[in-house]
Amino acid sequence: MEKSDLQKKLSQSDKDFMNDMLDKIIQSFIKQGLLTVTDLEDQDELWKKIKQLNEEREYLAVIEYKDNLISNARKFYKSGEVDNAKFLYATLFEHTMNEIINESCIRKNIIKKEINTIIRAVNLEGKLTWLTRLLEIPQVSIKHKKIIMKLASDRNAYIHYKYNPESNDEIEDYKEKEEIAQIEKTVIYFKKYSSRILYNNQKTIIDNHLRSRRDEQT
């Protein structure tokens, strides 16, 4: 694809910003089932499809917090603030599940107002069980579902100040380390789980195509 006059005049930071935005748009269309990996193979045809989709659809900006959540959760744990760490881990899983539900509903042509109602009205346990079956997406493993639900319970207890009596001895410290270790395993599992659904197990291929697209413009 030839560079436009606008691209030639842009600074490198402007080009990077535009490429980041375009990558996000492409990823969003893929998650919604509007583009496929095959569409990424021909840059000219890809651009035509993107322009067509842009004319047909309305954009809604969404702030992505997941990377910050996991980073700050780990910082809190390292500094000894375990309850704050658990709060952010629990929020991470809920945000990820809401994204999966949102994109899965869009694929089924459910309108945005109804999607918002579903996300607000269905509790976390429902999202991890019967709602995934209704949306015909893979089930969360029982092991990791239990970890997420225990974490959500701990978060609610922390928010509403419903603490259970705890001691600060070595046994409790060991239990906390084991619990965080299990939560981190669930973080890894959930990252793969969400990628499997949102990108149809093709995230690496998609990333390679997007990288190639950027390389062609340099």
Confidence bin at 73 (pLDDT 50/70/90): very high
Both tokens of residue 126? Answer: 């429902």
Distance CA 168, CA 152 (A): 22
Distance CA 91, CA 48 (A): 38
| pLDDT score recorded for residue 64 | 66
**pLDDT digits over 104-152, tens only?**
999 999 999 999 999 999 999 999 999 999 999 999 999 999 999 999 9
Distance CA 87, CA 75 (A): 12
- What does the pLDDT average to over 182-207? 91
Distance CA 107, CA 118 (A): 15
Q: Answer whether 135's CB lies under 8 Å from 114's CB.
A: no
**pLDDT digits over 83-107, tens only?**
999 999 999 999 999 999 999 999 9
Buried b vs exposed e over 30-44: b needs ≥16 C-beta within 10 Å?
bbbebbeeebbeeee
Q: Is the dihedral of CA 132, 137, 141, 145 positive or negative?
A: negative
| pLDDT score recorded for residue 125 | 96
| pLDDT score recorded for residue 54 | 78
Higher pLDDT among residues 213 and 23, named by residue:
23
Q: Is the pLDDT of residue 210 over 70?
A: yes
**pLDDT digits over 8-48, tens only?**
566 667 677 777 878 888 888 888 888 888 888 888 888 88
> What DSSP state is assigned to residue 10?
S
* Secondary structure (DSSP) of 128-182: HTHHHHHTT-PPPPHHHHHHHHHHHHHHHHHHTT-PPP---SHHHHHHHHHHHHH
Q: Answer whether 183's CB lies under 8 Å from 147's CB.
A: yes
Neighbouring residues of 76: CB distance < 8 A, sequence distance ≥ 6: 82, 84, 85, 88
Confidence bin at 168 (pLDDT 50/70/90): low
Select from 154, 126, 121, 128 the least CA-distant residue to 142: 128
Both tokens of residue 6? Answer: 């606008």
| pLDDT score recorded for residue 218 | 57
